[in-house]
Copies of this chain bind each other. A is one copy, B any other.
Amino acid sequence: MRSSLDCVPCFVRQALDASRAISDDPAFQERTVREITGWIAGVDLDLAPPSFGQHIHRRLREVAASADPFRAAKEQQNSMALQLLPELRPLVAQSAHPLSTAVRLAIAGNAIDMGVTDRVTSSGLRQAIEQAMEQPLCGDPDGFYEAAEAARSILYLADNAGEIALDRLLVEQLGPHRVTVAVRGAPVLNDATVFDAQAVGLDDIAEVVDNGSDAPGTILPDCSEEFRRRFAEADLIISKGQGNYESLNDETGNIFFLFKVKCRVIAQRVGMPVGTHVVTRPQGHICAPEDREEI
C-alpha cells in the first residue's frame, strides 16, 4: 500500500524515538532527526510505509555505527515474553477453542512494537493479553481456521522480537511440522531475526528461514529469490503485524493477516478503530466502504 500523508509526521516521530533508543546524546539525536526529516520531505509516497522504515533504520545504523542497535532491547523483549509461556500454554490447551486462543495470544504479542511505543513493559504485555482474550477477533477468523485446517504447508511471517515468543504458541497449535517461520534477513528496529527465532526455541520445533531483506515488513521485490519461491509455493501464508500487512495487502494469494490496528491510517484502510484485533485476507475490508468515513 501507498504511504499516506499522515505517515509523514509519524515517520519523523519514529526516527526521533529510534534515535533516542540508540543514544542519549542530544547532538546525535538532533543530527539524525534532521537528516531523516530532510530525506522524508523529498521521498516518493508511492512507497509502502515499511520502505520508509527500511531507509530510516539503515541510516540510523550507519550514523550509530552499529549493525544491530536494538539487540539489547530485543533480548529483553524475548525474555519478558518467554517468561509468560508457562502460564499461557495451559490457557491455550484448556481453552474451548485452542487455535482461537493461540491466535489471540499471537495478536496480543503484536503490542511489542518499537515503531509505536519505545517501551513495552511486562505489565503492558499482560494488559495486551487481557484485551486480546476479551475483545472480538474482527475480520474472518472462521475463514482462517478453515484455511489453517486445509493447508499442507504454512509460511508464517513473524514480526517483532518478544512477539515471536507468543507466535510459538500458535505455531505449536498449527502443528510445527508443516510450518516454516520466516524472519527478517537483517536487523531493523526490534523486528525478529533468526537470532530471535532461536532465542524463543522456534528453530527446535519448526523450520526457520530469513527473507533476505532488512525492511520492517515483507517487500517481496526486496526479499531473496529463495524466500519468494517459498512465498509462492506455500498453501497458506500467515502474516503477523502491521508492517507485513502494509507491504503485502496488495498481493494475491492465500494470505491471512493477523495484527492489532495501531494507527489511524490502517484503521481507515481496514475500516475498524485503532486497537482492533484483526484476522483478515488481502484487501479484506471489515466494514463496508461507505462506513469507513466514520472511523
Contact = CB atoms under 8 A, between A and B. Distances in A.
Interface of A: 5-6, 8-10, 12-13, 16, 26, 29-30, 33-35, 37-38, 40-42, 45
A189 to B, nearest CB: 17
Interface secondary structure of A, over-half rule: helix
A37 B16 contact: no
9 contacts: A5-B26, A6-B16, A8-B33, A34-B42, A35-B41, A37-B37, A37-B40, A37-B41, A38-B41
B12 A16 contact: no
A275 B72 CA distance: 35
A42 B33 contact: no
Given A37-B41, A41-B41, A9 B13 contact: yes
A33 B13 contact: no
A8 B26 CA distance: 14
Contacts of A34: 41-42
A12 B37 contact: yes
Given A8-B33, A12-B12, A35-B41, 4 more contacts: A5-B30, A8-B12, A34-B42, A37-B41
Contacts of A33: 5, 8
Contacts of A37: 8, 12, 37, 40-41
A73 to B, nearest CB: 20
Contact of A9 (B5, B9, B41): B9
A33 B34 CA distance: 16
B42 A38 contact: yes
A10 B33 CA distance: 13
A-B pairs with the 3 shortest C-beta distances? A38-B41, A9-B13, A9-B12
A16 B6 CA distance: 8
Contacts of A30: 5, 45
Given A37-B40, A41-B38, A41-B41, A16 B5 contact: yes
A34 to B, nearest CB: 5
A111 B16 CA distance: 27
Contacts of A5: 16, 26, 29-30, 33
A282 to B, nearest CB: 24
Indicate the member of A9, A10, A30 with the most B CB atoms within 10 Å. Answer: A9
A57 to B, nearest CB: 17
A9 B41 CA distance: 12
Contacts of A16: 5-6, 8-9
Contacts of A40: 37
